[in-house]
Structures are given as C-alpha cells and as structure tokens.
Structure 1
Amino acid sequence: MAVDYATLLTIPISYASCSLGNPNDPPPLLDRLHAISSAGFSAIELSFPDILSFGNSHLGHEVDPKDYDSLCKVASEIQKQCQQRNLGIMMLQPFANFEGWKEGSDGRKDAFERARGWIRIMQACGCDMLQVGSTDTPIEDLDKSRIVPDLRELADLLKEHGFKLAYENWCWSSHAPDWKDVWGIVKEVDRDNVGLCLDTFQTAGGEWADPTTASGLLEDVGKEDLEKRFKKSLEDLGKTIPKDKIYLLQISDAYKVPSPFSAEADESGLRPRGRWSHDFRPLPYNGGYLPVFDVAQAVLKTGFRGWFSYEVFDGDAQGKGKQQDIIAYAQAASNVQKRLIAECAGRSEDEIEATR
C-alpha cells in the first residue's frame, strides 16, 4: 500500500557532513557545507571527525579528541558557518562503544567522560540530538546487564539540557545488529528522550544482504525464504514502532563487493559489515543492490514524517575511493529524495522519471 504523497513533501532532509566526497580523502568541511546548502538540504549531521579536522585548520594546530574546551570553540564556529549557509545541525554523530562496559572498567570511565564532553559540544554547536550506535565492543568485554542502565543514565544526562538520544542498530554490532534489537532496548530504557535512528543500509545490510557471500545475500536460507523473512520483518517494523519513537531515517544503498569479504574481523577488529559500510555505500539508484525503497516505505507506514538524512560513503564499486564533484553529488542526493518519496507514494514510472 502506497503512502500519501502530500505528506511526504513535508519531510525535512539532512546530509551527514562526513559522507560527502571521497571517504578516504574528504574535501574541506566548508566546501561540503556549501555543496549541501546549494542542493537544498535543511541541515547536516555533524560528525566528530569533521570537528577534529576542521579544528586542526581553524585553530592552526592538531586538536586532541578530549580537549573539549578547544572542541567547543570549533563546534561554535561550525555552527556559525552553517548558519551563514542556512543549515541547521540536526545531530552529532557517531557516538560509539558507549554502553555495556563492565563496572569499574577503564572503558566505562572513558565512555562517560566522552558523554559529558560530547554534551558540551552539543551545547556549543546548537544541536539537540546525539546519535549512539549499538556498540561493537567484543561481547566478552561487555556486561550485557549494564546496557539498559547505561543508556538510561546517558538519557538522563542529555535530558538535563533538553537533548535527545537516537539509538541506531549498527549491523556489525556485537549485541544489537537489527532494528528489533535496538527497539527492544529502547522500550526497556523507557525514557521520553530516547528514540531510534533507523537506517536503510543497517537494516537491509544486516537482515537481507551479506558481504561475505558470493551472492551478496544471506545464505542461511534459500532466496525465496529470505525474501519472505525480510518482508515479514519490515511489516513488523511498520506495525510496531510508534512514529514518535523514530527520530530519523538515514538513507544509503550498498554496492555488492567485488569479491566476498572474509568473515573474520580485520587487523583493527572491524567486522566485515563495518568494512563494507566504510567504502561501499552509494546513493540509491546509483549502482547499489539493497531494497532501500522497501525499508523506507516500511518506516513511512508507521506515520513517521521526520528527518530523512543522507549518509553515503561512496568509494566506488571497487571500494578504492574516487574524486567527486561534490556540488553535483549533493544535488544528485536531493534528486534521489524526490524520486524515493515518489516511489513510496506509488507514483507512475513517468512521474518518477520526471523527478530524475
């Protein structure tokens, strides 16, 4: 069943600042902000690595990731630069490896130190939402009984400042790789300022696709059963998550990798889907193979009409990186949004073609 097209035209659009240009050699932040603004986006997701890189040039020296006094000065300047380009800062990301550390561990101490520092950065840049990715810390280093209490504590720290927590399932997470996993956790956390960051890549790339197989698909069942299982998952998503518990939907596709990845973590400890995420995520309709439309439509069927945010890491189909005309690429993302919502509304092929 299609969704009402008129309501889809109200959806605000954002672009993740870290994801425009070559993933391995991104252009200067101000160039990216100009391109994003020129393409008609309303806001950015501000990435912590961009704060560091912009800070190095703005302050004239390398900024330590825990020098929060300097980072707040940089974040305040980024807000000014965004305002000059009519861009808001929708979210600070990606806050990683936070929840579930064992009591008394160095990891837990570091996690909460970072949380307080990032909250300061949010105040400095005028942002009210923090993205937290479901941790990929090795499960043997975690105390799973701490996951919900840790997220509650973080939510309460954020609420002191009127801020929200958007919890995302990273499909290489050690404890919550699927949307059902993070939704179960969010329900248990039970805080009014905690919701979901859903993502077309994280959902389809975890439950439907697999970069370690020759087919590029999960092969624990046959393809017909895989399609049925994934369809049922998306039907459940559309029926069970309240729209006000979805804070944003991130949009990207994925290339099928040139040859299957090893199922083992790499030398840095990154799992295969994490490596896939880093370099093989183009815009929809541009060479990828994930069922992006199906995920987007399922999310829209909840009644959600909040942020669609484009987070792509397009290192070309070989994952080797490529130079891009970032103004043209940002405009292409804006055009993808028009085509995607037209498709979700059941528009005809001719009507969809007119949005290209």
Structure 2
Amino acid sequence: MALDYESLQTIPISYASCSLGSPSNPPPLLDRLHAISAAGFSAIELSFPDILAFGSSHLGHDVDPKNYDELCTVAAEIKRECQKRKLGIMMLQPFANFEGWPEGSDGRKDAFERAKGWIRIMQASGTDMLQVGSTDTPLENLDKARIVPDLQELADLLKEHGFRLAYENWCWSSHAPDWKDVWNIVNEVDKPNVGLCLDTFQTAGGEWADPTTSSGLLEGVLKEDLENRFHQSLDDLGNKVSGDKIYLLQISDAYKVPSPLSTQADDAGLRPRGRWSHDFRPLPFNGGYLPVVDVARAVLKTGFRGWFSYEVFDGGPEGKGKNVDLVAYAQAANKAQQRLIAECAGKKSEV
C-alpha cells in the first residue's frame, strides 16, 4: 500500500544535540542549537554528555555526573537557551546499561540511582521522554529474568511525572540487538508509557550490514537470501508493530568502513558495531550504503507519523573527523528529510 505523501509532510523533525559537528571534538552546544534552529528543526534530543560539557562552561567547573543538583541547574539553563531559539527538548538520552542487573548488586543500585537522578533532569529540562538503550553489559553479568521487571519499575517511576520511556535496540546490545527483540520486550513490559525508539542505523546496521566484513554486509548467507530475510523483517515491522507504540524514528546512514573492524571488543569493552556507530554515521544520501529508505518506509507503514530525529556521527568516510559548517550541515539534514519522505512515498525528490 502506497504511503500518503501529504501525511508524511506533517512529521515533526528533531536533531540530536550530540550529533552535529565532529564526533570526537564537538563544537559548543549553543553553536549547535543555533544551527539546528536556523535549519528549521523544532526540537532536540538532549544528550547527557552535552549537559556535562555545557555545565563546565556555564558553572565554571567540571560537573560530577552524579551531582544532580548541579545537573538540574544546567539542564534548566539549556531549556532557556532552547526556548530562545524556539526549540523544544523532545527527549533526554542516552540512558544506558540499566536493565538486568542481579538483585542486590552494585550495578542495580547504581542503575536506579541514575534513573531517579535523570528523572530530575527531565523535570528541569522540560522533556517528557527518556531514551533507554538495550544494555550492552555482558550477559554473564546480568540476570535476564530481571530485564522486564526492571523496565516495568522504571516505567512506574516515570509515570509518576507523566513521562514516557522510549526503548531502543542498540545493534551491539548483548541481549536485544534487533527491533523484534525490543518489540517483544515492550509487549512483555505492557505499560502505556513504554514504547519504541527505532533507528535506521540500528536496524539495517544489525540485520543487513556488518563492519567486520570486507563486503560490509552480513556474510555466511547468500546475498539474495540476506536481502529476502531483511525485507521480510521490514515487512513484519510494518505489519506487526503498532504505530502508536513507536515514539520516534532516529535517522542516519553508515559509511562502509575503509577496512574491516576487529570482531573483538575493544579495550573499553565496546563491540565492533558500537565502534562503527561512533564515527561512521552520515546523513542519508551522503555517501552511506544502508537501505535507510526501506527502513523508514517500513516504520511509516505502521501508521507512525511522530518524530523523525536526526542522530548522525559523521567522522567522514575514514572515520577520522571533519570540520563542517554547522548551519549548512543542519540545513543538509533538513533537505535529506525532505528527500527521505518523498522517496518513502515513491515520489522523485526535487531536493
């Protein structure tokens, strides 16, 4: 069934604050907010690292990641700066390594302390949504039976404030790397304020592509079979997921890495897709190779017409970083959005 182009033009657009400019040396937050606003975006995803960095300049000293009094002061100031630029704060992100810690463990204690602190930051910043990434803590350190109850408990904490939880499959997650994994978990959690954060990179980068192979694709399967399997997965997404349980779709592409990444985790424990994610994610139609349009079209076929949010980490094709004009780059993201929705609807873009 063809998508109605007119309905796609009503989709609101956001930009992740952490993802404009060089991933390894991000420019000042206020410069990024200016560019995002000037390019016509209506909101940002506010990243926790940006709160820390902006807090250092605003308060004149480094902010402890667990000093929630100071973090709330900083978040309130960022809210004011966004309001000056007619930007909303759509979501706070990325809340990581939360679910599945064994009962009584230090990890579980830390996870819930962080949750309560981040809820305070949400109140100060004026956002109502928390992004939770499917944990990449090694499975041997987790109690998988705790994953659903932990998310239920977090949902209840958020509900007290009228807040929502957007659960995202990180394609390097140790327990839920695919959209089906998080969709099944969201259904088990069964809370009205818990939905999905879907992502073109996380979906295609996990089920179709592979940065550890010379082809850049999953190997060990015929290419035709890979394509058929991936498009069946997208058909399932479009037909089985409830559009009202998708809270946002994050948009980015991926460069094929110049040489295959090691299949082993790095010294910090980050898996290859996590390393790929950090530096090799451009805007769609700008040198990447993922089937971004196919993923976006599948999400739209659920009936979803909520936030499209641009989260790119563009270190250039070599992943070594590049200097960009922030306003021009944000404008290019808006143009990519126009082309994306046109191609999703089967129209030839004039952008």
User: After TM superposition, is the score higher than 0.5?
Assistant: yes
Deviations 1:243-277 (A, max 9, x none): 10000000000000000001000000000000000
Tell me which residue corresponds to 2:193: 193
Which residue does 1:144 correspond to in 2?
144
- Distance of 2:325 and 2:2 partners within structure 1: 34
Please list, as runs of the form range in 1=range in 2, the aligned pairs for 1:69-84 lying within 5 A after superposition: 69-84=69-84
CA distance in 1, matches of 2:343, 2:184: 30
Q: Is it true that 1:164 corresponds to 2:164 in the alignment?
A: yes
Distance 1:270 1:20 in 2: 22
Name the amino acid aligned to 1:50. D
Which residue does the alignment assign to 1:106? 106
Give the secondary structure class of the aligned counterpart of 1:198: strand
Tell me which residue corresponds to 1:12: 12
Deviations 1:189-236 (A, max 9, x none): 000000000000000000000000000000121100000000000000
Runs of 4 or more consecutive aligned structure 1 residues displaced over 3 Å after TM superposition = none
Residue of structure 2 in register with 1:47 after alignment: 47
Cα distance, 1:45 vs. partner?
0.1
Alignment correspondent of 1:97: 97
Query: What SS does structure 2 have at the residue aligned with 1:79?
Result: helix
- Corresponding position of 2:133: 133
Residue 281 (structure 1) aligns with: 281
Match of 1:294, as an amino acid? D
Structure 1: distance between partners of 2:344 and 2:260: 31
Structure 1: state its 5+ residue gaps: none
Secondary structure of residue in 2 paired with 1:304: coil
> Aligned partner of 1:262: which letter?
S
Which secondary structure state, in structure 2, belongs to the residue aligned with residue 294 of structure 1? helix
Q: In structure 2, what residue type is equivalent to 1:276?
A: W
Paired amino acid for 2:256? K
Matched, 1:28 2:28: yes
Aligned residues: 351
The corresponding residue for 1:124 is 124
In 1, Cα distance between equivalents of 2:296 and 2:243: 13
Cα distance, 1:156 vs. partner?
Answer: 0.1
Provide Cα deviations, 1:60-117, integer angstroms capped at 9, x if missing partner. 0000000000000000000000000000000000000000001111100000000000
Q: TM-score, normalised by structure 2?
A: 1.00
1:107-166 C-alpha deviation (Å, 9 max, x unpaired): 000000000000000000000000000000000000000000000000000000000000
Show the 5 A alignment for 1:228-243. Answer: 228-243=228-243
* Secondary structure of 2:90 counterpart: strand
Structure 2 counterpart of 1:86: 86
Per-residue deviation, 1:324: 0.8
Q: How does 1:240-319 map to 2 (within 5 A)?
A: 240-319=240-319
Distance apart, 1:51 and its partner CA = 0.2
Q: Deviations over 1:310-333 (max 9, x none)?
A: 000000000001111111000000
Partners of 1:316 and 1:168 in 2: how far apart?
A: 25
Secondary structure of the residue aligned to 1:14 is: strand
Paired with 1:100 and 1:260, the residues of 2 have a C-alpha distance of 31
RMSD of the alignment, in Å? Answer: 0.5
The separation in 2 between residues aligned to 1:205 and 1:97, in whole angstroms, is 20
| Structure 1 residue matching 2:304: 3-state secondary structure | coil
1:313 partner amino acid: F
Q: Take 1:172 and 1:24, find their aligned partners in 2: how far apart are those partners?
A: 20
Q: Deviations over 1:13-57 (max 9, x none)?
A: 000000000000000000000000000000000000000000000
Q: Give the secondary structure class of the aligned counterpart of 2:77.
A: helix
2:210 corresponds to which letter in structure 1? Answer: D
Give the superposition deviation at 1:2.
2.8
Q: CA deviation at 1:174?
A: 0.1
Alignment-derived partner of residue 178 in structure 2? 178
Q: Distance in 1 between matches of 2:347 and 2:284?
A: 17
